Structure 1
Amino acid sequence: MKKTTMILTFLFLSTWAFAQVEDSLKIAMNKTTVFSIFDTKIEVKKNDDGSRTWEFIPNSKVYNEKDSEKHFKRKIKHSTGLDLELGINTWIGDGDAPTVRPWGSWNPAFNTYYAYKPSKNFSLKTMLGISWYNFKFEDRNLQALRSPDGIFFEQFEDGGGIKSKISASYANFSLIPTIQSNNGKFRFGIGPYAGLRLGGRGKFVYRDSTGDRRRQFQMGNMFANDFRYGGRVEIGVGDVDLFLNYDFNEMFQTDKGPKVNTLSFGIIL
């Protein structure tokens, strides 16, 4: 009798252990992590696109399976990534400010983002990144110079100008609530951003009287504002995403340059 009891006990424990191992293998194969907090079982499934699906299922016996599915199961997806933006800068405001040439006034940016998607038609994207303002003047002989009183512009008389511009770089943070169609083919987001200046300078390229190509640099920040803030719009159609940024504060520090606001627009790659 004792021997029979021992055999049955051994078979029971073996079957139970095998079931536990089998469940663990299934979880591993499905890339699913399961854990419990109080009376709620939480399943975290890693999807092929890198996002994760969270399911909250109560263990309480008060609710049957149907009620739990209807009232207590919740799916949350999120994704992270890196994108590149390539846009064009211009400025709006003071009529005495130099005219900016769109081609060559590039606005490149690198961003890392986190998108939280609590529902099918809504997501909240946060971004951290670095962008560069470049303003290339239409008048190639117009040189931007820095003085203690601010930035000023004057015609270059000692040769022929090839390129004249000023630039500034910023570290940025953006928060973009986004809505999208059911099939995801149309997306629209709008939200705020803020940036902290990292650097800046002026650059003038010209040919001297002998025809040699020369460069002059105005080091320093050219009195660009240390802090920028504004509004951002993102529009996506199919696989194409576009952006538009508008700075609410002026490009230059108070009384240190023309009263202009920056507008940037381009494509998200």
Structure 2
Amino acid sequence: MKTRIMILACLLAVPAGRMTAQQQTAPEQKATVQTQGDSIIIRKGKGDMRIKVYEEQLEDGEKKEVQIYEGVYLEKVDADKRTFLDALPFIPKKRRYNAYEPHCSGLYIGYSRLANDFLSFGASDKMVLDLSKSWEFGFNILSVYHNFKKNPHWGINLGVSWGYRSFNIDGNYALLKENGTSIFTAGNEETSYNKSRLRHFFFRVPVLMEWQQRVGRRKVFFNAGPEFEIRHGVKSFSHINGGKKKTVGKGMYVQPVGINLLAQAGYGNIGIYLRYSTYGLFQKDKGPEVSPYSFGVAWYL
């Protein structure tokens, strides 16, 4: 009989011990700070922290500590944690004073040029342009970045932009498609060309290494790196014999994929850029040997 009673007591003691252990996990931490008779008591529990302030006052000739303040601070939320919203464009983001601020173009516009050789900035004599009317514009549709430190000067930016580029041909010339090539053709007595141009749309994916330094309220920055370009919707237009604009060729044997070198510099949300293609605009032996480049201004969102 005594043996049965002892076994039953042991079985009842097991859940009671578990309940006691659960109550003792995550004990409340308490710290008391005393300063010139006043007291500050800090109690830290599992998910919050309570602060009580007591002031020493005289009541009925006796010194007593009277509570004058109590505050509750909830569990800290990491404000630097990134979500998928950080990759979306035009979403306002709260940033700390020294936080890294990437500069992938939000909106940009600039002049387009054609040179004879890579890294040459002179105007091409193989395809003469009206430089004041040859331009490009684009806007950023996706942007992500990686910074190297908590309060960095350095980071890597990755973006995707979409836009439009137009080369306006000067004089009585047009870019025609003949015998499997694109030929820069002059007008004659029978056929005249006016306001001719070559245009294409593009997707661009820049991968930029950036340095930045705060000066006053904003940051000076510089970034550079390769940019991959996909060209589409290529067309050549001209006004023939003073008539309406007419499409004189599509595709025009333009390279569908290009690799550019991109450099940007600026202050705050405004900057300038220089973009240069690493190889020719047209496929080999399919058109004039010209290298496109552009420069302009950008507004970083």
TM-score of the superposed pair, with normalisation by structure 1: 0.68
What residue in structure 2 maps to residue 181 of structure 1? 213
Counterpart Cα distance in 2 of 1:81 and 1:99: 32
Q: 1:237 to 1:158 in 2, by over 3 A?
A: farther
What residue in structure 2 maps to residue 133 of structure 1? 165
Give yes or no for contact 2:229–2:260 (8 Å, CA) kept in 1: no
Q: Give 1:95-244 correspondences, 5 Å limit.
A: 96-111=125-140, 112-119=142-149, 120-139=152-171, 141-156=172-187, 157-158=189-190, 161-183=193-215, 184-206=218-240, 208=242, 213-244=243-274
What residue in structure 2 maps to residue 87 of structure 1? 110
What residue in structure 1 maps to residue 283 of structure 2? 253
User: Looking at CA atoms only, which structure, 1 or 2, has the larger radius of gyration?
Assistant: 2
Counterpart Cα distance in 2 of 1:178 and 1:81: 10
What residue in structure 2 maps to residue 50 of structure 1? 93
CA shift digits 1:9-59 (9 cap, x unpaired): 9xx9xx98xx667579835xx7547xxxxxxxxx73899962678xxxxxx
CA shift digits 1:118-163 (9 cap, x unpaired): 3331121111122323110121x21110123311122334576441
Instruction: State the AA in 2 paired with 1:26.
Output: L
Q: 1:45 to 1:137 in 2, by over 3 A?
A: closer
Stretches of 4+ aligned residues off by more than 6 angstroms: 45-48, 78-82
Q: 1:177 to 1:51 in 2, by over 3 A?
A: farther
Instruction: State the AA in 2 paired with 1:195.
Output: E
Counterpart Cα distance in 1 of 2:220 and 2:99: 21
Structure 1 residue runs without a partner (length 5+): 1-8, 34-42, 54-74
SS of 1:44's partner is: coil
Instruction: State the AA in 1 paired with 2:154.
Output: F
Q: 1:198 to 1:26 in 2, by over 3 A?
A: farther
Structure 2 residue runs without a partner (length 5+): 1-19, 29-44, 50-71, 118-123
The worse-fitting range, judged by mean Cα deviation, of 111-120 and 242-251 is 111-120
Q: CA RMSD in A?
A: 3.7
Q: 1:149 to 1:185 in 2, by over 3 A?
A: same
Give yes or no for contact 1:32–1:45 (8 Å, CA) kept in 2: no
SS of 2:74's partner is: helix
Give yes or no for contact 2:176–2:249 (8 Å, CA) kept in 1: no
Q: 1:259 to 1:82 in 2, by over 3 A?
A: closer
Matched, 1:26 2:74: yes
Instruction: State the AA in 2 paired with 1:224.
Output: V
SS of 1:249's partner is: coil
Counterpart Cα distance in 1 of 2:146 and 2:165: 29
Instruction: State the AA in 2 paired with 1:215.
Output: K
Instruction: State the AA in 1 paired with 2:167.
Output: F
Instruction: State the AA in 2 paired with 1:123.
Output: G
TM-score of the superposed pair, with normalisation by structure 2: 0.62
Q: 1:224 to 1:45 in 2, by over 3 A?
A: closer
Instruction: State the AA in 2 paired with 1:175.
Output: V
Counterpart Cα distance in 1 of 2:104 and 2:116: 36
Give yes or no for contact 2:143–2:160 (8 Å, CA) kept in 1: yes
Q: 1:49 to 1:96 in 2, by over 3 A?
A: closer
Size of the aligned set, in residue pairs, is: 221
Shift of residue 106 of structure 1?
1.4
Q: 1:266 to 1:80 in 2, by over 3 A?
A: closer
Shift of residue 218 of structure 1?
2.6
